[in-house]
Amino acid sequence: MRLQKFLAQSGIASRRKSEELIKNGIIKVNNKIISEMGYKIDPEKDKIYVNDKEIKINNNKIYIMLNKPVGYITTLSDEFNRKKVIDLINIKERIFPIGRLDYDTSGLLLLTNDGDLTHKLTHPSFEIIKTYIAKVKGILTKDEIKNFENGLMIEDYITSPAKLDVIRTNTDNSIIKISIREGKNRQVRKMCAAIGHPVIDLKRIAIDNITLGNLPEGEYRYLSDREINHLKNL
């Protein structure tokens, strides 16, 4: 088994974050610091340490949905001592967010200690649909909506086809529903800005068909077996 996969399955971090831990030289295998990607271990024989604490695979998988408020970060540590989403969840197991939501974005965030599921839901090749409700400045034209849906040049990449529906408008702004299959940094905000309609407020309401529903802001719940099985079978 590759070391980063073991770390992900043990609930230490997602596979991508586990690779960062390896690069930073804080992972030991049998008291030897490992910094190379793809290093293979035998979980039955080798002893793996993170910051000198022995780690074992965690078979108690946790799957949680949080309605993230604005003003919380999704990283597990922060040099500026900002509020973290993990502080909102009162459980003893170590879990981590699946992907991220910006500091100034609210809504549906999944957290788990299942590294394999995290990899599936965050890797671009799986193209998992994320749906948002946004309040944006101004009134969108048909051409702007078409450009948004067909793909936009954002910095050094062109966005994949997306979906945009106008829910309602007034004289100054619009409420829109957006579905994308990507998850690049602040992508929805950048896409809206690219068509001349900066985001005022942004909330994620669904990942595929797993919906936020009426979960109060700042509260969390465990996913149902049906929801877990659906995500695993995507």
| DSSP secondary structure letters along 144-199 | HHHHHHH--EETTEEPPP-EEEEEEE-SSEEEEEEEES---TTHHHHHHHHTT--E
Q: How many CB atoms lie within 10 A of CB 221?
A: 12
Token pair 């989403």: residue: 85
Q: 56 pLDDT band (50/70/90 cuts)?
A: confident
CA dist., res. 216 & res. 69, Å (int): 10
Active-site position among 46, 102, 201, 208: 102
- pLDDT exceeds cutoff 90 at 84: yes
Residues 105 and 215 reside in one and the same domain: yes
Residues 200 and 222 reside in one and the same domain: no
Backbone φ/ψ region at 144: left (φ over 0), alpha (ψ -120 to 50), beta? alpha
Residues 105 and 172 reside in one and the same domain: no
Higher pLDDT, 8 or 104: 104
Residues 119 and 134 reside in one and the same domain: no
> In 3-state terms, what secondary structure has residue 114?
coil
CA dist., res. 216 & res. 160, Å (int): 32
Q: 20 pLDDT band (50/70/90 cuts)?
A: confident
Residues 87 and 140 reside in one and the same domain: no
Boundaries of domain holding 135 = 129-207
What percentage of the chain exceeds 90 in pLDDT? 61
Structural domain total, the chain: 3
Token pair 């509020």: residue: 83
Residues 35 and 144 reside in one and the same domain: no
Q: 194 pLDDT band (50/70/90 cuts)?
A: very high
Q: Which CATH number covers residue 196?
A: 3.30.70.1560
CA dist., res. 215 & res. 211, Å (int): 10
Give tens-digit pLDDT for 106-161: 999 999 998 888 888 988 888 899 999 999 999 999 999 999 999 999 988 999 99
Residues 187 and 137 reside in one and the same domain: yes
Residues 199 and 158 reside in one and the same domain: yes
Tokens standing for residue 201: 């407020």
Residues 199 and 221 reside in one and the same domain: no
Q: What average pLDDT does range 52-75 have in this prediction? A: 90
> In 3-state terms, what secondary structure has residue 228?
helix
Residues 201 and 219 reside in one and the same domain: no
CA dist., res. 136 & res. 202, Å (int): 9
Q: Give the pLDDT score at 88.
A: 96
Contacts by 222-230, CB closer than 8 A, 24 or more apart: 222/62, 222/63, 222/64, 222/65, 223/63, 223/64, 223/65, 223/110, 227/63, 228/63
The mean pLDDT of the chain is 91
Residues 20 and 39 reside in one and the same domain: yes
Active site residue 102: yes
Region of poorest pLDDT, from 38-42, 134-138, 174-178: 38-42
pTM of the full structure: 0.81
Q: Which CATH number covers residue 113?
A: 3.30.70.580
- pLDDT exceeds cutoff 90 at 193: yes
Phi then psi dihedrals of residue 147, to 5 deg: -60, -40
> In 3-state terms, what secondary structure has residue 129?
coil
Residues 193 and 221 reside in one and the same domain: no
